[in-house]
Protein backbone atom coordinates (compact mmCIF):
# COMPACT_ATOMS: atom_id res chain seq x y z
CA UNK A 1 0.00 0.00 0.00
CA UNK A 2 1.57 3.32 -1.02
CA UNK A 3 2.07 6.02 1.57
CA UNK A 4 -0.37 8.88 1.76
CA UNK A 5 1.04 11.95 0.06
CA UNK A 6 0.54 15.29 1.76
CA UNK A 7 -0.38 16.84 -1.60
CA UNK A 8 -3.43 14.57 -1.79
CA UNK A 9 -4.46 15.63 1.69
CA UNK A 10 -4.15 19.31 0.80
CA UNK A 11 -6.26 18.81 -2.34
CA UNK A 12 -8.85 16.90 -0.29
CA UNK A 13 -9.04 19.69 2.28
CA UNK A 14 -9.30 22.43 -0.35
CA UNK A 15 -12.00 20.65 -2.38
CA UNK A 16 -14.03 19.83 0.74
CA UNK A 17 -13.64 23.40 1.95
CA UNK A 18 -14.69 24.96 -1.35
CA UNK A 19 -17.74 22.73 -1.72
CA UNK A 20 -18.75 23.30 1.88
CA UNK A 21 -18.26 27.05 1.63
CA UNK A 22 -20.42 27.19 -1.50
CA UNK A 23 -23.26 25.34 0.21
CA UNK A 24 -22.94 27.33 3.45
CA UNK A 25 -22.88 30.65 1.58
CA UNK A 26 -25.98 29.66 -0.35
CA UNK A 27 -27.77 28.76 2.88
CA UNK A 28 -26.81 32.04 4.54
CA UNK A 29 -27.86 34.10 1.49
CA UNK A 30 -31.29 32.50 1.64
CA UNK A 31 -31.63 33.37 5.30
CA UNK A 32 -31.23 29.83 6.54
CA UNK A 33 -28.86 28.91 9.32
CA UNK A 34 -26.17 26.29 8.72
CA UNK A 35 -26.14 23.05 10.63
CA UNK A 36 -24.39 23.97 13.88
CA UNK A 37 -21.11 22.34 14.81
CA UNK A 38 -21.59 20.58 18.15
CA UNK A 39 -19.42 21.88 20.95
CA UNK A 40 -18.12 18.40 21.62
CA UNK A 41 -17.04 17.68 18.03
CA UNK A 42 -13.44 18.61 18.77
CA UNK A 43 -13.39 16.20 21.72
CA UNK A 44 -14.71 13.34 19.61
CA UNK A 45 -12.04 13.93 16.98
CA UNK A 46 -9.39 14.15 19.69
CA UNK A 47 -10.52 10.81 21.13
CA UNK A 48 -10.23 9.21 17.69
CA UNK A 49 -6.75 10.69 17.25
CA UNK A 50 -5.62 9.34 20.63
CA UNK A 51 -7.06 5.89 19.83
CA UNK A 52 -5.24 5.79 16.48
CA UNK A 53 -2.04 6.92 18.19
CA UNK A 54 -2.28 4.19 20.84
CA UNK A 55 -2.95 1.53 18.23
CA UNK A 56 -0.04 2.85 16.20
CA UNK A 57 2.23 2.57 19.20
CA UNK A 58 1.42 -1.14 19.42
CA UNK A 59 2.19 -1.55 15.72
CA UNK A 60 5.47 0.27 16.19
CA UNK A 61 6.42 -2.17 18.93
CA UNK A 62 5.40 -5.03 16.60
CA UNK A 63 7.56 -3.77 13.73
CA UNK A 64 10.49 -3.31 16.10
CA UNK A 65 9.99 -6.96 17.17
CA UNK A 66 9.27 -6.04 20.78
CA UNK A 67 6.72 -7.99 22.83
CA UNK A 68 3.15 -6.97 22.08
CA UNK A 69 -0.26 -8.52 21.48
CA UNK A 70 -0.32 -7.12 17.94
CA UNK A 71 -0.21 -9.52 14.98
CA UNK A 72 0.29 -8.89 11.27
CA UNK A 73 -3.41 -8.74 10.40
CA UNK A 74 -4.17 -6.24 13.14
CA UNK A 75 -1.16 -4.18 12.11
CA UNK A 76 -2.48 -4.04 8.55
CA UNK A 77 -5.87 -2.92 9.85
CA UNK A 78 -4.22 -0.17 11.89
CA UNK A 79 -2.31 0.95 8.79
CA UNK A 80 -5.59 1.24 6.87
CA UNK A 81 -7.17 3.07 9.82
CA UNK A 82 -4.27 5.52 9.88
CA UNK A 83 -4.60 6.15 6.15
CA UNK A 84 -8.35 6.67 6.49
CA UNK A 85 -7.86 8.95 9.50
CA UNK A 86 -5.54 11.26 7.62
CA UNK A 87 -7.91 11.46 4.64
CA UNK A 88 -11.01 11.99 6.78
CA UNK A 89 -9.16 14.53 8.93
CA UNK A 90 -8.19 16.50 5.83
CA UNK A 91 -11.76 16.54 4.51
CA UNK A 92 -13.11 17.55 7.91
CA UNK A 93 -10.49 20.28 8.26
CA UNK A 94 -11.69 21.77 4.97
CA UNK A 95 -15.31 21.46 6.06
CA UNK A 96 -14.73 23.18 9.39
CA UNK A 97 -12.59 25.88 7.77
CA UNK A 98 -15.53 26.63 5.48
CA UNK A 99 -17.78 26.94 8.55
CA UNK A 100 -15.36 29.41 10.12
CA UNK A 101 -15.12 31.49 6.92
CA UNK A 102 -18.89 31.54 6.46
CA UNK A 103 -19.39 32.58 10.09
CA UNK A 104 -16.72 35.30 9.85
CA UNK A 105 -18.73 36.98 7.11
CA UNK A 106 -21.64 37.43 9.55
CA UNK A 107 -20.06 37.92 12.96
CA UNK A 108 -22.85 40.29 14.01
CA UNK A 109 -25.01 37.30 14.88
CA UNK A 110 -24.05 35.86 18.30
CA UNK A 111 -25.00 32.35 17.24
CA UNK A 112 -22.55 32.47 14.33
CA UNK A 113 -19.77 33.71 16.62
CA UNK A 114 -20.19 30.68 18.85
CA UNK A 115 -20.48 28.54 15.75
CA UNK A 116 -17.15 29.90 14.46
CA UNK A 117 -15.39 29.07 17.74
CA UNK A 118 -16.64 25.48 17.81
CA UNK A 119 -15.87 25.00 14.12
CA UNK A 120 -12.36 26.37 14.66
CA UNK A 121 -11.76 23.99 17.56
CA UNK A 122 -13.05 21.07 15.51
CA UNK A 123 -10.85 22.15 12.59
CA UNK A 124 -7.77 22.10 14.82
CA UNK A 125 -8.74 18.64 16.10
CA UNK A 126 -9.13 17.52 12.47
CA UNK A 127 -5.63 18.73 11.70
CA UNK A 128 -4.37 16.77 14.70
CA UNK A 129 -6.10 13.70 13.29
CA UNK A 130 -4.30 14.24 9.97
CA UNK A 131 -0.93 14.48 11.70
CA UNK A 132 -1.58 11.42 13.87
CA UNK A 133 -2.73 9.44 10.83
CA UNK A 134 0.46 10.28 8.93
CA UNK A 135 2.69 9.48 11.91
CA UNK A 136 1.00 6.14 12.59
CA UNK A 137 1.13 5.29 8.90
CA UNK A 138 4.89 5.83 8.96
CA UNK A 139 5.13 3.59 12.05
CA UNK A 140 3.33 0.82 10.15
CA UNK A 141 6.09 0.50 7.56
CA UNK A 142 7.92 -2.77 7.78
CA UNK A 143 11.69 -2.34 7.97
CA UNK A 144 13.62 -4.17 5.23
CA UNK A 145 15.30 -7.43 6.17
CA UNK A 146 19.09 -7.41 6.23
CA UNK A 147 19.22 -10.70 4.33
CA UNK A 148 17.26 -9.32 1.37
CA UNK A 149 19.47 -6.21 1.19
CA UNK A 150 22.59 -8.30 0.60
CA UNK A 151 20.99 -10.62 -1.97
pLDDT at 147 over 70: no
**By the 8 A CB rule, do 101 and 19 touch?**
no
31-89 pLDDT per residue, tens: 887 788 898 999 999 999 999 999 999 999 988 888 888 888 999 999 999 999 999 99
pLDDT at 144 over 80: no
| pLDDT confidence tier of residue 146, bands split at 50, 70 and 90 | low
In angstroms, the CA 104 to CA 112 distance is: 8
113-132 pLDDT per residue, tens: 788 899 999 999 999 999 99
Q: 28, exposed or middle or buried, with CB in 10 Å at 0-12, 13-18, 19+?
A: middle
| pLDDT confidence tier of residue 148, bands split at 50, 70 and 90 | low
Position 85 scores a pLDDT of 97
pLDDT at 13 over 70: yes
Position 17 scores a pLDDT of 97
Amino acid sequence: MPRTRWQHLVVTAVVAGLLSYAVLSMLLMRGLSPIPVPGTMWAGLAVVAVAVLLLGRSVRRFTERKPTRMDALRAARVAVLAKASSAAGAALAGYFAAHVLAALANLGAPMLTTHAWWAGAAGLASLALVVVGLVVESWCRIPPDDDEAHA
